[in-house]
Each structure stands twice: as C-alpha cells, then as structure tokens.
Amino acid sequence: MRRRDFIKVIAGSAIAWPVATLAQQSLPVIGLLSPRGAGDAPQLLTAFRQGLKDSGFVEGQNVAIEYRFAENQNERLPALAADLVHRQVTVITATAVPAVVAAKAATASHSDRLRNG
C-alpha cells in the first residue's frame, strides 16, 4: 500500500469513528406512567412535552419517552411500572397518585432485588 493511500484510510477512519461512537450512544429514556387512557388528556401530554422542550429536551432528538397508559384500570399500574423498571428507563414520571404509588413500589422492589442479589 502506498503511503498516500494509507493516510487516506487512516484519515477516513478517524473521521468515521466519532460519528459511529455518537450513533451508538443511547438517549436518556423517560418513562411516563398514567392511569388514564392514551387519548384521555392530550393537553397533559402536550404540556409535558412543552415542559421538556423548555428545559432543552426534545422527544426523539435528545430524549426518548416510553409511554404506559393503564386505560383507567388502576390494577394494571403495577405491571406497567414494573415494565418501565425492567426497561431501565432513566426516570419515571407519574401523572396521578395511583401511578406514583405503583412507580414507587416497582422501583423499591427492584432496588431490593439488586441489594439482595
């Protein structure tokens, strides 16, 4: 291989490497847990996204959101919260007291399992 060709290969690799590294980095994930149905309160989701945007977070650009709706069946909340914990979201946002209770229980039981191995 000639020296000039070798330099081109190395230079090309050096440029591509940071791009590949950035592509592999994952976005922080917010878990949104709600006892409501997905279409029950669109203004709530709009306000939530606007609040994130005001803080510099835009869904799909620098943050991902995992939505979980219990469809007005509070008994589903513990399983939905456990699913968010299992997916290792960065933070869980709950939109009502029953969702807060379910999220707290799911994260506490997950912490206990981690401590007790």
Give the Cα separation of 5 and 8 in Å (integer): 5
Both tokens of 75, joined, read 């008994």
User: What ranges do the domains of the chain cover?
Assistant: 27-116
Tell which CATH architecture fits domain 27-116. 3-Layer(aba) Sandwich (3.40)
**Which band of pLDDT confidence, cut at 50, 70 and 90, is reported for residue 13?**
very low
pLDDT digits (tens, 9 = 90+) for 39-75: 998 999 999 999 999 999 999 999 999 999 999 999 9
Tell me whether strands 64-69 and 91-94 are parallel, antiparallel or unpaired: unpaired
Q: Is pLDDT above 80 for 26?
A: yes
pLDDT digits (tens, 9 = 90+) for 103-114: 999 998 765 565
Burial (Cβ within 10 Å: 0-12, 13-18, ≥19) of residue 5: exposed
Both tokens of 79, joined, read 């399983």
- CA max distance for the chain: 69
pLDDT computed for residue 37 by the predictor: 96
Could you tell me which residues come within 8 angstroms of residue 81 by beta carbon, excluding any fewer than 6 positions away? 33, 68, 92, 99, 102, 103, 105, 106, 107
Give the Cα separation of 108 and 65 in Å (integer): 21
